[in-house]
Structure 1
């Protein structure tokens, strides 16, 4: 009971602290936390020379599960609820935003030079360049972090609009969930860089740097929904579509490519369940 009371008290203090801040500041702090979790994962290069493919696949599956769960419980479901009772079908803003988000990320995927982990440099995607393999690997994980930051920014921005389905505890839970899955993402960047011959310090630096886009995307998302509140359901759907694109196009396939499909699948289920509990328990 004392442990439960401790965590309940800590959660209340955190919510009280965030309530006194502007939405943009809330989003910024939330993504500074997720950035820090990426850095924590990347710091593993100082303690280990490598990580097994099996462990990495399990963690990637976990990250994918968190992102899928967050896309529905934290983004699509609130978007649909906010649209009820309007002149258009309740599903319309969520569906339009979802599809546009996927198309947007698909466009970035076609343009931004990047390389999926475990792939030879000849399989690099996006505009052809002479950039090094390490640069292309960093850009691949950076692509993951754009929709994650945007989702957190939109979630915190939505709280200020007064919609009953957009609550501060839910926005904090989303930031915590994405932060948890950012740990293996940071690890997934730094370890391959070290394996390719980069020093531990440089591997850590570039690993954590891949998440710098999250605070930027979060601030832009929070500003956008506060300037134009009617676009909020569309913005929530957009963030969900962008995240699902990344999961289906990259995270899940990468986790399944090395003969560890069962472990990766269980990791995805655990990640989905944890994010679901965080979101539903937060109200």
Structure 2
């Protein structure tokens, strides 16, 4: 732990997101050990992931952004509000352009620019798109610590990385298992499932580096990551978890995930 604390923020963010990527791979690896995973279980797992993301968006991103803007007095909410809206708008723009396919959707409902990509590629693209704000959030959190802001702590950044890692487990499973059901080999299903987490270290390094280079942008960057994550939760994660008649169980998954992330942030941050 002492060794980790001595590293610069960009390297810390990179290491933290290597962990989150690794947990994605562990989730995808269930395709080797389980004959099948019920849709009910997947829905609860997705609900849990959504709950973690919602809690992380507030406790680890929006609240610090508002706190560090306290010098603005009654307008302290402005950086957080602007960044939040821009984060959601950015994800919406990418969502409109990048070819991707939501889980369990027919190929005819692929979104983004029309392409001849295979269904498996479109599925991985969708999850990869959703992992960008998660990696960015971790990077910005470690960058905030390095910037020496009172509202940003190393424990808080680590708790965010832990929370993102925990919720990446069901995301990896949610990609690999459906691909296996469609007839893809276990090895290919695993490789596609874990590949969705590869973008997180890159996004984390970008986020941490940007914050260190432009400290005044920090509250906007924190809120940007929060807006992007909430967009993902509302547009994809929760609707998917509620689409198969397991709404009550999936909702309890959201509540449990939110609680776990809240506990992590308060206990470590």
User: What TM-score range do you get, normalising by the shorter chain?
Assistant: over 0.9
- Aligned-residue offset at 1:60: 0.3
Q: What is residue 69 of structure 1 aligned with on the other side?
A: 55
- Aligned-residue offset at 1:87: 6.8
Is it true that 1:46 corresponds to 2:32 in the alignment? Answer: yes
TM-score w.r.t. length of structure 2: 0.98
Looking at structure 1, the residues matched to 132 and 230 of structure 2 have their Cα atoms a distance apart, in angstroms, of 12
- Aligned-residue offset at 1:228: 0.2
Map 1:129-278; keep pairs closer than 5 Å: 129-278=115-264
- Aligned-residue offset at 1:71: 0.1
Unaligned runs of 5+ residues in structure 1 are 1-13
Native 8 Å contact 1:38 1:186 kept in 2: yes
- Aligned-residue offset at 1:86: 3.0
- Aligned-residue offset at 1:94: 0.4
- Aligned-residue offset at 1:85: 1.6
Looking at structure 2, the residues matched to 122 and 28 of structure 1 have their Cα atoms a distance apart, in angstroms, of 37
TM-score w.r.t. length of structure 1: 0.94
Question: Where in structure 1 do 4 or more consecutive aligned residues deviate above 4 Å?
Answer: none
- Aligned-residue offset at 1:47: 1.1
SS of the residue aligned with 2:75?
Answer: coil
Unaligned runs of 5+ residues in structure 2 are none
Looking at structure 2, the residues matched to 130 and 49 of structure 1 have their Cα atoms a distance apart, in angstroms, of 31
SS of the residue aligned with 1:163?
Answer: coil
- Aligned-residue offset at 1:195: 1.0
Report how many residues are paired: 269
Task: Give per-residue Cα distances to partners, 1:186-245, cap 9 Å, x unaligned.
Answer: 000101111111111111111111111000000000000000000000000000000000
Q: What is residue 83 of structure 2 aligned with on the other side?
A: 97
- Aligned-residue offset at 1:175: 0.2
Q: What is residue 7 of structure 1 aligned with on the other side?
A: none
Looking at structure 2, the residues matched to 47 and 277 of structure 1 have their Cα atoms a distance apart, in angstroms, of 30
- Aligned-residue offset at 1:281: 1.0
25-34 or 111-120, larger mean C-alpha shift:
111-120
Native 8 Å contact 1:49 1:191 kept in 2: no
- Aligned-residue offset at 1:270: 0.2
- Aligned-residue offset at 1:88: 7.3
Q: What is residue 19 of structure 1 aligned with on the other side?
A: 5
